Amino acid sequence: MEIALMQAKKSCPFIHVASASSLRRLTTGSSNPLLSKAKQCPIMSQAISSRSISTSAVNKVNSHDQGIVVNPVSHGGLKKHFDYESFYQEELEKKHQDKSYRYFNNINRLAQKFPRAHTARVTDEVTVWCANDYLGMGRNPLLIDNMKRTLDRYGAGAGGTRNIAGNADLHLRLESELADLHHTEGALVFSSCYVANDATLSTLASKLPGCVIFSDSLNHASMIQGMRHSNAAKKIFRHNDTKHLEELLQSVDPSVPKIIAFESVYSMCGSIGPIQEIVKLAKKYGAITFLDEVHAVGMYGPRGAGVAEHLDYDLNEKQPHAGNGSILDQIDIVTGTLGKAYGVVGGYIAGSAYLVDMIRSYAPGFIFTTSLPPAVVSGAMESVKYLKKSCTERNLQQVNTRTVKSRLGEIGIPVIPNPSHIVPVLLGDAAAAKLASDELLSEHNIYVQSINYPTVPVGEERLRITPTPGHNLPMIEELIESLDKIWNRYDFKRVEDWKSQGGCAGVGVTDSIEPNPIWTDKQLGIIDNNNNNNNNSINEKEQQAFFSSE
């Protein structure tokens, strides 16, 4: 009983102050005083009530099984079986009608010609402007050579789940590298970050007694799915609105476990989450933070740990370890991906040793799936280690992003304002976004995927452009000229048009303040001795360094 009592004391304020002997006395007697006490508890009373209803339902079923014969329905006459294929067709037609049907282009990225790719015909090449391989690490020779050697030595597959033959030294070393990256005690690798988010939130929130999740309104589908699977109560706060978040936190009992789930870089609009403010609120109201750094790892910070590391750039550059007093040390749970800036595939969480071990022990999404292949894990580890030291790739990516945003602004192409590496070009109509995407591909040999509902709200459809270190100045000019031609041909709305309509998604909003890039000129090294911006020279210099790695 003492062991169970120790566990219960962590979560129940009544048991926390009660001794083992007093609890034993409450369990004696026919009136069961302990049950009476439990019914006075706001959490246990609901649990007892739910169990009573559930038990009654089970008893009814059992009595039916024992005493009542189930009569079969008639299978004769003119009744037909359910038409499954027609149902599928009707559901797809809904997608076509609301213009949200997704078309997948046949794009085959060429490692030796990054960021070029061929389409269905190998002779037809296009420039890719929308990949999430933000830094071109997927074609980095260091990774490719490393993965080839690992493949030769350990074979193609992992051989099983982490519990059965799939837990190699490579997996453990990768997790150590990730824990070090995020200043945490531990890390856990998943098959993807969708799985990592779903499994962690669903497991944690379902285990924490009476847990309430506070979720940003623009959180990724994987986080939303995890919240649904947890069956925990949730409260949604307006995007990046910490005042609204605090109002919601004030509505929940201080003793109730709480999770604040949010992102650092919101990938469809490029906005940055207010990490420092949310951490302060979490401390104030007894919540833990769940920070999704999927679109930020490898991209921000002196070692690529993400936006949380970047906020204390100089400190983390000089003291790249836990306990240095940075905001990075105060994040409870970080999730990231190995499939975007790191150029491979997979996802992970990082946090305290107990948190990681609990998810490892309870999360079905981790336990019951085959682990990542050794070659993938080895390549991911090489990428993480490389980007801890090299800033060449992320610096050039940021410079190219600035150039693209600036050039689009000069000709009035509407870019949704943001301080990150994402370049969302607003069209505001699903059919128009698809038309622009199709014409870029068919007439200009440029691939940019259109983004529509449910990924973004109806009326905010867009093209999502992601510059990389491999996009040189001629490629950038080709993109700008092609977009300008398409906008002229179809009279798509420019910034002034949106402004005359009152603005949309941050475009054309009167008296709005353009956000400063999160990467400063000093961090990028693009200020010369005369304190003048020198974007072109750094572009050329970094470009040479990037391609010399081949």
- Pick from 244, 319, 297: nearest CA to 274: 244
Measure Cα distances from 366 to 75, 166, 174, 335, 372 in Å. Answer: 44, 12, 16, 14, 11
Length of the chain: 550
Q: From the candidates 234, 258, 340, 434, give the one annotated as an active-site residue.
A: 340
Residue 475 CB contacts under 8 Å (≥ 6 apart), including other chains: 115, 127
Spell 232-268 as b/e; 16+ CB within 10 A means b. bebbbbebbebebbbebbeebeeebbbbbbbbbbbbb
**Within 10 Å of residue 451's Cβ, how many Cβ atoms?**
21
* DSSP run (H or E) holding 440: helix 430-444
Token readout for 537 is 């020279």
Does residue 217 contact residue 239 with C-beta atoms inside 8 Å? yes
Spell 35-65 as b/e; 16+ CB within 10 A means b. eeebeeeeebeeeeeeeeeeeeeeeeeeeee
**Amino acid at the residue 240:** N
In the residue annotation, 234 being an active-site residue is answered as no
- Nearest-5° angle of CA 477, CA 475, CA 544? 120
3 state DSSP class of 357 = helix
Does residue 369 contact residue 203 with C-beta atoms inside 8 Å? no
Catalytically active residues are: 340
